[in-house]
Amino acid sequence: MKIQHFALLGITFLTLMSFSFLQYTEEDEPNYYSSDYIITYGQAGPFTLNSAFPGKEGEYMGYQLVQRKQIRYAEDGADTLTTFHAQKDGITHIIIHPKYNNDALIGGLEVVSALYETKHGVGVGSSLYDFYAIYPDAKGYYTFVSDMYWVEYPVMEGIQFLIDAKACKTEPDAFSDLTVIEKSNLNLKSRITGIRIF
């Protein structure tokens, strides 16, 4: 009798457990993108592209926003724009840029803190060796318009991993709007200096 009772309890328990597994949905998955320090498409930490551009200095989403004036370079010249530095303990984590044609919206984010990473663990301070190990199809680029070097992975559209000139073994073509830099022409010990999201 006791054996039958325990067998019945066991069957009931297994039935309830299997029913709960059938009820499992994607909503039960942990949200790996809820971290304050994730970099993903159109987002760095809590800031997202096309959301409202901060209008003033002060506390905002756990950051202290500090206004800065910055020169923006383009093919038709340069102009001055207002950016906000999202800081914690006086250290800038993210530079928030307005949208080019609508300064009421966020148009770009520049991550300068090593705390923020992609879901694969790449962030400011990661070596190009590690970057290419994770994103083997990545390519390097240089543009003389803004005198900027970067690497990017084609699938991660709108994210550029900034590097400095020393990462390039030879000088790029100074007369080309955009120069592709092959992996073989990069010093893989060089590190990512910033991450631009646009």
Report domain extents, the chain. Answer: 2-30, 33-197
Report whether 50 contacts 39 (CB < 8 A): no
CA atoms within 13 A of residue 179's CA, in its CB half-sphere: 19
How much is the pLDDT for 35? 66
Which is it for strands 139-143 and 159-163: parallel, antiparallel or unpaired?
unpaired
Write a three-state SS string for 142-153. Answer: EECCCCEEEEEC
CATH architecture of 33-197: Sandwich (2.60)
Element (H, E) at 69: strand 63-74
How much is the pLDDT for 79? 79
State the DSSP code for 169.
S
pTM attached to this predicted model: 0.78
Residues 6+ apart with CB under 8 A from 62: 36, 46, 88
The pair of three-digit structure tokens given for residue 105, joined into one six-digit string: 């919206």
Element (H, E) at 7: helix 2-22
Q: What is the pLDDT along the chain (198 residues), one digit of tens a residue?
A: 545 444 444 444 434 333 333 332 333 333 344 468 999 999 999 999 999 999 899 999 899 999 998 776 666 777 788 999 999 999 999 999 999 889 899 999 999 999 999 999 999 999 999 999 999 999 999 998 888 999 999 889 999 999 999 999 998 877 788 999 999 999 999 999 999 999
How much is the pLDDT for 80? 82
Task: Give, in order, the Cα–Cα distances in Å from 51 to each of 91, 96, 106, 131.
Answer: 23, 11, 6, 29
Closest Cα to residue 46, out of 57, 67, 61, 28? 61
